[in-house]
Amino acid sequence: MLKEFKDFIMTGNVIDFAVAVIMATALGAVINGFVNNIIMPVVGHFTGGSDFSNMKIVLDEAVVDATGAVTTPENAIMWGSWVNTIINLIIVGFVMFLIVKAYNKTKKPVEEAPAGPSELDLLTEIRDALKK
């Protein structure tokens, strides 16, 4: 069983998959940084200097005791963080589209096999051969 597992792990597909997962994780981190550090400040600039990641709708305020310690944290809908996530998704989708498009351009075009005689042509030849 250990030998089978070793054979399975050493196949090209598993190694390709592992490389793809690692690359996707790195790409996700780069895109996340791009959105949070470049795109969202520009969006915030055009929306009056607001930081989208802190945008929220507070449902219940935080409860603070006399010493200033929070006894019950606030309950809020963090819609700005969700907007950041949607922008991440769009950028990741666009980057993946570009990668797949570039990969498809590098692939050699598949040449179609030369078309042989159609079924009708073959039947016609058989009929003609039988008549003779």
pLDDT single digits (tens) 54-108 = 788 999 988 888 888 888 889 999 888 888 888 878 888 888 888 888 888 888 7
Return mean pLDDT, the chain: 83
Indicate the CATH number for domain 2-108.
1.10.1200.120
Q: Is the pLDDT of residue 52 over 80?
A: no
Q: Is the pLDDT of residue 37 over 80?
A: yes
Helix (H) or strand (E) run with residue 63 in it:
strand 63-64
Among 24, 16, 15, which residue's Cα sits nearest to residue 93? 24
Residue 55: count of CB within 10 angstroms of its CB: 18
Residue with tokens 């969700």: 82
> Residue 45: what pLDDT?
82
